[in-house]
Chains A and B, each alone.
Chain A
């Protein structure tokens, strides 16, 4: 059972446009929602993260919007650049027992055209 559903699977955006990736979760006990960025041949790297006590977090061109009642969160990339072309994963976790275990979405392959 996939606890974090991510869409779209792939996304093509023109340079300068806005990229939007959406995720929905089921477990209301999740208390940490990170987004990871992965380039080909590399491991994922943390991009930005949010906790459910805030509705939005912005870091540079990247913004997370969080809707606790709808159990949804999204990543917005403003002024998208070709260098943003990568695979993006949303995730959610609970600090369960001894370690925080992340549940990942299925990923979105973003292509930004020059």
Chain B
């Protein structure tokens, strides 16, 4: 039982490059979230999904796109990476609105 798995763990991009971060969960949770964590700013919600085929914007969605084609996977895409997107990205899942979030171990992304 892996829980929430994020790939890759580390990535370095040049400005303008694109990439996709994958979040996979084996807990059959409905809700999935993408957060970014920056020093002194806590975690900020980028996008989230309340079920397969649904997505919604969070607090800081600009520059990112997401897809939830399968219930167990939530993808975060950067179409044209910028240095301001250097961060640690966390995926989280939960069964419902009254259950705690389960986080993955993060993807550290550096954009040069």
- Mark A residues whose CB is within 8 Å of B: 4, 6, 9, 34, 41-46, 49, 89, 95, 98-107
Contact = CB atoms under 8 A, between A and B. Distances in A.
B84 to A, nearest CB: 18
A104 B43 contact: yes
A104 B40 contact: no
B42 A43 contact: no
A34 B4 contact: no
A99 B48 contact: yes
Contacts, number: 52
- Most central of B40, B42, B90, B97 by chain A CB within 10 Å: B42
A90 to B, nearest CB: 9
B103 A44 contact: yes
Contacts of A105: 42
Interface string B34-74: 00000011111100101000001011000000000000000
Nearest to B45: A101
Contacts of A98: 50, 56
B42 A104 contact: yes
| Interface size of B as a range | 20 to 34
B103 A9 contact: no
Contacts of A89: 42-43
Nearest to B43: A104
Main secondary structure of the interface of A (DSSP, over half): strand
A4 B41 CA distance: 10
Contact of B92 (A42, A43, A103, A107): A43
Contacts of B40: 9, 106-107
Contacts of B58: 101
A102 B100 contact: no
A6 B40 CA distance: 10
Contacts of A104: 42-44
